[in-house]
Amino acid sequence: MANPNYYFYGFIIMIYCVVLLIAPISAGDDAGTSFLGGKKLIIGLPYNSGYAQFVDIRQLNSTNDNHQVVQVRGYSIDVFEAKIAYLERQHYSISFEYRVFVNGDGNNAGDYNELVSQISEEKYDAVVGDVTILANRLDDADFTVPYTHSNNVKMLVKIRHDPRLNMWIFVRPFSWSLSLCIASNSIFIGAIILFMERNVQRDSTLENSPCRKQFRGVSILWFPVVQAIFPERESLAKNCSRFVLVMWLILVFVLMQSYTACLSTILTVHQLQPQYLSENDVIKDPNINVGYRSGSFVGDLLPINRARVKNYSSIEEYKDALDKGSHKGGVDAIFDEAPYFKVFFSHYGSNNYAVVGTRHHAGGFGFAFPKGSSLISYFSKAILNISESNEMDKIEERYFGGNDEYGENQYISKSSSIDASPSLTAYSFAGLFMVIGTLSLLALLISENHIWRKPVMLAKAYSQQFFSSNSSRISSLDEGSTTRSNVDKHCSADNGTLPV
C-alpha cells in the first residue's frame, strides 16, 4: 500500500485556510454586485431652485439629453453620499449617476408625486432629495427609514404686538388685591413703629414744625420707607421697633424680587406671542389667506376655500407674503413641513416670526427605491448608523447653522395663551403677610408691656382676693364643725353614753 502524500494534504489545507480568510471580502464584493446587477444607479433629483439647502444643482451636462447632473450639493445630497460612503466601507461597490427631473425645455417636469412615479416607470432607479414619505407614494415606490428628525406640518405666522404692553405695563405684575395688601401692610407697620416710638425724646423744633404737624398722620405711610432709605434721619430708639422694621424690609425685598421677575416675564413672553394661536383660528376666519409651498402635498391637507390659498416657491416669497398680510394681497399664515421652516429661520431669525403646531403629520424625508428592492435594507441600515454618529449633525450644521435657531424653543404650542404669565395675587404672599403681621404684633406686645401689665396685675389681685375669701370661709366652716363636735362629746359624757 502506498504511503499517503502528506505534502499534498498540507497544500490542500493551506488553500482551504486562505479561502476562509478572504471569504468575507469576496462575499461583500459579490453582495455589492448582486443587488446592483453590475449596472450604474440612475438617481432622480427634484428641480426646486427655491430650496437650494436641500438640493442645489450647480451644473448640468449639456452634451446629452439625459439631463445628467455634473455638480450638485445640498443637505439631502450630502446625506445620500454619506450613506454611499458607509456602504463602501462595508465593501459594497456602488456606482451612481444624478439626473434632474426636468422636461425638454429644462423646466420642472412635475411635482414630487410625479417624480416618485418615475421609479415605477423605470426611468430612475432611485429618487434622492427632500421627498416626504406619504401613503400615496408607496404605491409607486418603497422608502428607506426617514433621515430627518421631524416632518410634522407646521404653521408659520408673524409675531403680534401685545396691546397690553403700553405705558401702564409697570402695574401689571401686581394685582389690585396684592397692591391693597401691600398698602395696608405698610400702614400697619408704620402705625406700630410710630406707636412704639411715641415716647422717645426728639428735637423739639423738628417736632413742633408746621410741616411736621401737618403731615403727622400721613407719616404712617412713608415712615417705614424713610427709615429704610435714610436711617440717619430718624433713628429708632427701641429694639422692638428695629425688629419690626427689619421684618418690613424682608417683605419689601421679597416683593421687589417678585415684581422684577414677573415684569421680565411679561416683557419677554408676551413679545413671543404668535398672531394666531392655532390652525382653527386661521381656517375659520374667511378674511385670512394662507399659503403653502408649490408642489407640496400640504395644499391638499388644508380644508379651506381654494380662493384663499396661495402657493409660493421660496423662503423669500414666504417673507414677503407674511409682511404684506391678507389685506395687502399676501397671507397671514403659511403651512409647510418643519425642515423648510428651519431654512426660513436660518435666514430671517425668529424675532418677528413664530411657528405653531398643527394636527397634520408626515413620515419625514426618505430615499425612494423600486418596490421590493434589496437596496432599501442596506440604505436604511446606513441611515441608522450615520444618524447614531455625529456625522449627521455635522451635515445639518453645514446647511442650517449650529446655533439651533429653529430648535424646540422656537415652537409655540397651539395651546399657548396670552395669560401664560398672570399677575401676582395676594394669595401668593398670604403666608408671608401672616408671618410678618404676627411677629409685628408680638414685638408690639413685648415693647408696650405697660399696656398689658395693669390688666394682668388687676387679674392677679382679683384672683388673690377671690382665693383669700374662699380660704377664710372654709376655715370658719372648719372651726364651727370642730366646736359642735366638742359639745357633742361633753353631752355624751354627762349622760354616760358614748357618742354615736
* Cα torsion 421, 425, 427, 432: sign: positive
Q: Kind of pairing, strands 142-143 and 368-369? A: antiparallel
Mean pLDDT of 123-138: 91
- pLDDT of 24 reads 45
169-271 CATH choice from 1.10.12, 2.60.40, 1.10.287, 1.10.10? 1.10.287
Q: Which amino acid is at 402?
A: G
Indicate if the pLDDT at residue 489 is higher than 60. Answer: no
Q: Note the helical H segments in 90-175.
A: 112-120
pLDDT tens track for 180-191: 998 888 888 888
Indicate if the pLDDT at residue 395 is higher than 60. Answer: yes
What confidence tier does 304 reach under pLDDT thresholds 50, 70, 90?
confident
- pLDDT of 206 reads 47
- 39-149: CATH topology: D-Maltodextrin-Binding Protein; domain 2 (3.40.190)
User: Which has more pLDDT, 466 or 359?
Assistant: 359
Domain boundaries, the chain: 39-149, 169-271, 448-500
What confidence tier does 30 reach under pLDDT thresholds 50, 70, 90?
very low
pLDDT tens track for 205-262: 545 555 444 444 445 555 555 555 555 545 667 788 888 888 888 888 999 999 998 8
Q: Model-level pTM? A: 0.61
Using alpha carbons, select from 293, 22, 468 the residue that is nearest to residue 302: 293
Indicate if the pLDDT at residue 419 is higher than 70. Answer: no
Q: How many CB atoms lie within 10 A of CB 407?
A: 11
| Separation between Cα atoms, residue 432 and residue 273, nearest integer Å | 33
Mean pLDDT of 371-384: 90
